[in-house]
Amino acid sequence: MTEHEVAKLIIGAAKGSPKNSGQAFAPVNIALCKYWGKRDEKLNLPVTSSLSVSLPELGATTKISFRDGHDLLRLNGADQPQDSAASRRVSKYLDLFRPDKDTFFQVDSESSIPIAAGLASSASGFAALALALDDLYQWKLGLHDLSILARLGSGSACRSVYTGFVIWHAGTRADGMDSFAEPVDGEWPGLCMGLIMVSHHEKAVPSRTAMKRTVETSALYRAWPAKVEADIKETRRAIEEKDFDLLGRTAESNALAMHATMLDSQPPVLYWMPETVETIKKIWHLREKGLAVYFTMDAGPNIKALFMQRDTADMQRHFPGMEIASI
């Protein structure tokens, strides 16, 4: 099945007439058990399930309306050139939702993610766009279906249609209709994430490329699906029992294992910088000294620290300049 057919299947039954414009917000999400590797590149179907937590105060607010001539993408008030990678990616996604080839869109997206935070914006960006399209066309789809539409833009975007803890089920079907995200029950007041910036530079290897390379060349990757499955079980138990050490330990181990599969790829992918290693060692040292802090990392050199609100003052002292996001 193509992405066009999947989109048609989902919006096919929806009735409602389009408004002049649609608008929506979607939060950033950080995976505690990572999505790493696709079983279908076109539909963004993952090899494994993954589990994330959304950062409700950080994300994208996106407005979409119809316009003539060509699509226009405006990010934080700045028009993006039509031939830029971002514009092309958004236009390709919008192709799934054009009633005819002469319908074009203007997309204005404002991000509350601090530019320096080093958080991937594609997840909140595509989730906000899918939700804004639902508002524009008045499909009134459920979040289950909207998570599938968001996934067609960027895999991890399917988790950003929700706040709180979220699981993305890998599914087994070739059409991906069973590969959707849904909330995991359980609030955790006081859980914090600290964004520790190591580099502001754009990553040298896009995650799409690194994932593909890992799946194709890493022997270690064969152990990854069982590892993620076990980690998701432990993370769900940690959320249920509010066991912070279990949550942190599992998230840290999962992120390190993902990076191990990258290192095992040919050619190897290493996102770490010297400061990444320094920060990791500092976190381990602080933990030995009794501070309950763990970390996770994505496809880049920056560190996301996990800690409880009661330790905020200590964390700020050890990591001045760290941006703190509550969960």
Interaction between residue 155 and ligand PMV (CB under 6 A): yes
Distance CA 281, CA 180 (A): 36
Q: Does 75 bind ligand PMV (CB under 6 A)?
A: no
Cα 128 vs. chain centroid, distance in angstroms?
A: 12
User: CB of 131 within 8 A of CB of 24?
Assistant: yes
Our CB check for ligand PMV shows the closer of 105 and 126 to be 126
- Answer yes or no: are the C-beta atoms of 231 and 34 closer than 8 Å: no
Regarding 179 and contact with ligand PMV (CB under 6 A), the answer is no
208 contributes a contact to ligand PMV by CB under 6 A: yes
Please report how close the Cβ of residue 104 comes to ligand PMV at its closest, in angstroms.
26
Task: Give the residue among 160, 182, 212, 206 at the shortest CA–CA distance from 44.
Answer: 212
The amino acid sitting at 193 is M
Largest CA distance in the chain: 63
Residue 214 interacts with ligand PMV (CB under 6 A): yes or no: no
Applying CB under 6 A, which part among 92-100, 120-128, 174-182, 267-275 lies near ligand PMV?
A: 120-128
Contact with ligand PMV (CB under 6 A) among 48, 49, 50, 235: 50
Which residues lie closer than 8 Å to 12 by C-beta, 6 or more apart? none
Closest CA to 62 of 71, 53, 74: 74
Q: How far apart are CA 161 and CA 167, in angstroms?
A: 11
Residue 120 near ligand PMV by CB under 6 A: yes
> Is the CB of 43 or the CB of 286 nearer to ligand PMV?
43
CA–CA dist 129, 154 (Å, integer): 11
> Which residues on neighbouring strands pair with residue 63, listed in sequence order?
23, 108
Distance of closest approach, residue 15 Cβ to ligand PMV, in angstroms: 31
Q: Is 80 in the site for ligand PMV (CB under 6 A)?
A: no
SS3 call for 104: strand
In the stretch 86-115, what mask flags binding to ligand PMV with x, by CB under 6 A?
Answer: ------------------------------
What span, in angstroms and rounded, lies between the C-alpha atoms of 140 and 175? 22
Measured from the CB atom, is 107 or 181 closer to ligand PMV? 181
207: contact with ligand PMV by CB under 6 A: yes
- The verdict on 128 binding ligand PMV (CB under 6 A) reads no
x/- mask, ligand PMV, residues 274-313, rule CB under 6 A, reads: ------------------------xx--------------
Task: Note whether 154 binds ligand PMV by CB under 6 A.
Answer: yes
# of chain residues touching ligand PMV (CB under 6 A): 14
CB of 159 to ligand PMV, least distance (A): 8
Summarize as ranges the residues that interact with ligand PMV (CB under 6 A): 31, 34-35, 50, 120, 122-123, 154-156, 207-208, 298-299
